[in-house]
Structure 1
Amino acid sequence: MSPPTTLIYGGSGKVAQHLIRHLLSLPLPHKIHPIVRSASQTPALAALGAHPIVQSIETSSAEAMAATMRATRATAIIWSAGAGGGDPARTRAVDFEGAVRCMDAAALAGVKRFVMVSAVDVRDREGGAEPEWYDEGDRERSAGMWGKIGPYMEAKLAADRSLVGENGRRGLEWTIVRPGGLSEEKGTGRVSAGKVHIQARIPREDVAAVVVECLGNEGTVGLAFDVVGGETGVKEAVRKVVEGREDTFEGRY
């Protein structure tokens, strides 16, 4: 059996590096192509066992991205890129416009599986309903996030809205993983996922583990769910999300 081939956009990021390690540790290891913006980023990723490709998210067309997907015979795309929210124009260029071109490229190249790494509380806060499970701590967390990194949250909302709302023309098998605040701590392999309170942080390594579990679980197709630090093993947490069809984006975009 040929190994799956996964392209990771935002391939030099900390979550991406954990993704590489997890994907290479599977019984059938993936061939991994991290997409990076600079040749200086490639040696460290190659040392992990990946095959990095230099291609700009900001300037590449959907057709150029699709050509890379075809050339590598990609079977799955993971979007883990982000501009960090400091420069609103660049944040929009990467987190929204680049993401949408990547989605369009996957459709052009015939790559069905697409996993988006987004963020908790990405929603229409003006016209959409507040999640009914939120408590006062969640509301404070929401207000703080939108107050500090509003342009990032808006860009993620626009990208996620496109992924879900425009999939009729793309036909992707998408999943959106929405992690809480990211930490540098070592992964525990235990999380809380689905319709959860959003105040807890989560190690980047555990985010990567959840994304990898989603790739292997077809039941996550068509779901967007939150994930934070918790007490449930990753496989079990994702299984419960699938069984409950817990979608935290539906009706809120």
Structure 2
Amino acid sequence: MSTTLIFGGSGKVARHLTKLLSAEPGATVYSIIRNPAQEAELKELGASPIIQSVEDALVTEITATIEHTQPDAIVWSAGAGGGSAERTKAVDHEGAVKVFDAFAAATTGKPKRFVMVSAVDVRDRESKPTPDWYKPEDVKRSEAAWKAIGTYYKAKLAADKDLVSQNGKRGLDYTILRPGSLSTELGTGKVRAGKVGMQGEIPREDVAGAILACLRNKDTIGLAFDLLGPGEGDLTISEAIAKVGKNKEDTFEGYH
């Protein structure tokens, strides 16, 4: 039996994750959403929706939600979805930090397991080197991506850096999952994880599978790593996550 609290529960990745989690015997899935019109759809997937805006809520209000639901784990899969720069900062950065602080403050009596869904190539490009495993085509793709959605990347970087650098005082058992470009294709059940570059996409269904694998694998605690769809030498999702955890492969350390 497990209880999971998902922030951004109406998103496509979160919906896939909800189906996976709710299929487990005795599992409870709470889903934080802003729009009441989405409640019926999420209930059909097996979630118990909670209406709350991380953009508008106070940390104390989010803490109250966490204490009410008593989750074994929290998943952050929320985002402004390409909105204005102000809203992207308010949700992807500031909203995430509110949840970090709220979870740290909450009295749950359980380990504070937290999985953060971020994005590949979230890094400090101004003062840190290019990742040494990047190939020329990865560098080219990175430049194009930052030019196109730099505001989004900066918000993600600020949130991820805060999660890592401030965890000494928060004490969250976090994992940061950094998927590449998302597709709506059916999941394959196979992925590349760790220092895999930027080439290719990944089905949202497989991102959800990877989140679940992280929740079930304590070796990923304290790590941030990249995730892409299958390619040469690809492994099943559980195998790929286990490999990253065993090797302590981190793609954020030294780049923020």
TM-score (norm 2): 0.96
Which residue is 2:116 aligned to? 116
Aligned match of 2:12: 14
Q: Which residue of 2 aligns with 1:133?
A: 133
Q: Which structure 2 residues correspond to residues 48-59 of structure 1 after superposition, within 5 A?
A: 48-59=45-56
Q: What displacement does 1:29 show?
A: 4.6
1:252 paired with 2:255, answer yes
Match in the other structure for 1:234: 237
8 Å Cα contact 1:220-1:242 kept in structure 2? yes
Deviation at 1:30, TM superposition (A): 2.4
- How far does residue 11 in structure 1 lie from its aligned partner after superposition? 0.5
Offset at residue 25 of structure 1 (A): 2.5
Q: What is the CA deviation profile of residues 29-86 of structure 1, one whole-angstrom value per residue up to 9, with x for unaligned ones?
A: 5200110001111100001111000001100011100100111111211000011233
Matched, 1:36 2:30: no
Give the total of aligned pairs: 250
What 5-or-longer segments of structure 1 have no aligned partner? Answer: none
Unaligned runs of 5+ in 2: none
Deviation at 1:19, TM superposition (A): 0.4
CA deviation vs aligned residue, 1:129-182 (integer Å, no higher than 9, x gap): 211010111011111110111000000000000000000110000000000000
Runs of at least 4 residues of structure 1 off by over 4 A? none
- 2:88 aligns with 91
Structure 1 contact 85–151 (Cα < 8 Å) conserved: no
> Aligned equivalents of 2:198 and 2:2: distance in 1?
33
Query: What residue in structure 2 maps to residue 183 of structure 1?
Result: 183
Percent of matched pairs sharing the same residue: 54
In structure 2, relative to structure 1, the CA distance for the partners of 1:212 and 1:29 (3 Å cut) is: farther
In the alignment, is the contact (CA less than 8 A) between 1:103 and 1:163 conserved in 2? yes
Give the residue type in structure 2 aligned to 1:181. Answer: S
**Cα RMSD over matched residues?**
1.0
Secondary structure at 1:7 match in 2? strand
